[in-house]
Amino acid sequence: KQEVTQIPAALSVPEGENLVLNCSFTDSAIYNLQWFRQDPGKGLTSLLLIQSSQREQTSGRLNASLDKSSGRSTLYIAASQPGDSATYLCAVRGRDAGKSTFGDGTTLTVKP
């Protein structure tokens, strides 16, 4: 059974800092990995999708990497802003296209 872990559970940084969020998974036979952002009381917003054949994806100040062999993904946020404050979740899609396994998320607070 796939297990997804996100460490740390919470992170507080000053504005402008570059930061890295971590996601690890136990079964490397994945189809893709997706990073989401969730604001309090809201749904999940897709940030980046990395296919199993890819090593990284970039969107604006966000860069996500994938290392299947070690079962790890990182989300790099450059020049953090208070508006980046949210919970960030990663989800791993297995070979059964119907099922994704989610981590519990990292709650990020960016202080002005």
Chain residues in the site for other proteins (CB under 8 A): 31-32, 34, 36, 42-46, 49, 89, 91, 93, 97-100, 102-105
Q: How far is the CB of 57 from other proteins (least distance, A)?
A: 11
Q: Which is nearer to other proteins, 59 or 81 (CB)?
A: 59
Residue 21 and residue 106: Cα distance in Å, rounded? Answer: 7
Q: Which is nearer to other proteins, 34 or 80 (CB)?
A: 34
Residue 57 and residue 64: Cα distance in Å, rounded? Answer: 5
Q: Which residues contact 74 (CB under 8 A, 6 or more apart)?
A: 20, 21, 22, 23, 64, 65
Q: How far is the CB of 16 from other proteins (least distance, A)?
A: 30
Length of the chain: 112
Q: Which is nearer to other proteins, 50 or 110 (CB)?
A: 50
Q: How far is the CB of 41 from other proteins (least distance, A)?
A: 8
